[in-house]
């Protein structure tokens, strides 16, 4: 968005500054500097969210941008790798690792469910501490969930007996 349309954070002792003062002062703290940074919020730390975070970490100036990833699970399941499990190229341990292992230094990761997206206020409410996260840009990469029962005959008698999906670790291992 256009930063000229948003209020600028005022810091320092307002009583000693002119009434028109809205910019940073010489008494800024590190917390104040973080609050002035642009915020990139990525919902979802799966393959797409992780790829976006890694790309943006190399493209955006870390002195100007704070990148935060929110996901409800600490564990990253490298879903594209599931396809290689049935062929013995990868094992379970190759496709399951902590999310932090896939994100570069400086990216904040918050483990929490997402409760609401409020685009009119440029913020997201997360379950952890009923906290709000403000953003300048939002990427929604919350992934997919297969619903085999929506395909007639797929989820009936042979599901997980002779019919498997590689969208889950268990399905890939069964294949």
Q: pLDDT tens digits for 50-64?
A: 999 999 999 999 999
Judge contact between 175 and 164, C-beta under 8 A. Answer: yes
pLDDT in tens, 121-171: 999 999 999 999 999 999 999 988 788 888 888 878 888 788 877 778 888
pLDDT > 60? residue 101: yes
Segment 94-118 shows an average pLDDT of 94
d(CA 82, CA 169): 6
User: Residue 155 contacts by C-beta under 8 Å, 6 or more apart in sequence?
Assistant: 148, 149
Are the beta carbons of 107 and 69 closer than 8 angstroms?
Answer: yes
In this prediction, residues 19-44 reach a mean pLDDT of 64
- Would you say the pTM of this structure is higher than 0.85? no
């Amino acid at each position: 968005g256009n930063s000229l349309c948003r209020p600028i954070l005022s810091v320092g002792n307002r009583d000693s500054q002119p009434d028109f003062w809205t910019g940073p002062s010489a008494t800024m703290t590190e917390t104040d500097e973080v609050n002035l940074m642009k915020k990139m919020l990525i919902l979802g730390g799966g393959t797409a969210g992780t790829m976006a975070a890694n790309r943006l970490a190399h493209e955006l100036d870390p002195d100007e941008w704070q990148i935060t990833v929110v996901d409800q699970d600490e564990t990253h399941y490298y879903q594209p790798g599931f396809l290689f499990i049935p062929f013995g190229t990868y094992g379970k341990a190759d496709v399951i690792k902590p999310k932090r292992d896939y994100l570069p230094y400086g990216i904040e990761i918050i483990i929490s469910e997402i409760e609401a997206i409020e685009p009119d206020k440029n913020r997201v409410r997360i379950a952890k501490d009923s906290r709000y996260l403000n953003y300048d840009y939002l990427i929604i990469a919350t992934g997919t969930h297969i619903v085999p029962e929506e395909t007639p005959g797929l989820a009936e008698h042979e599901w997980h007996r002779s019919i498997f999906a590689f969208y889950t670790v268990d399905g890939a291992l069964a294949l």
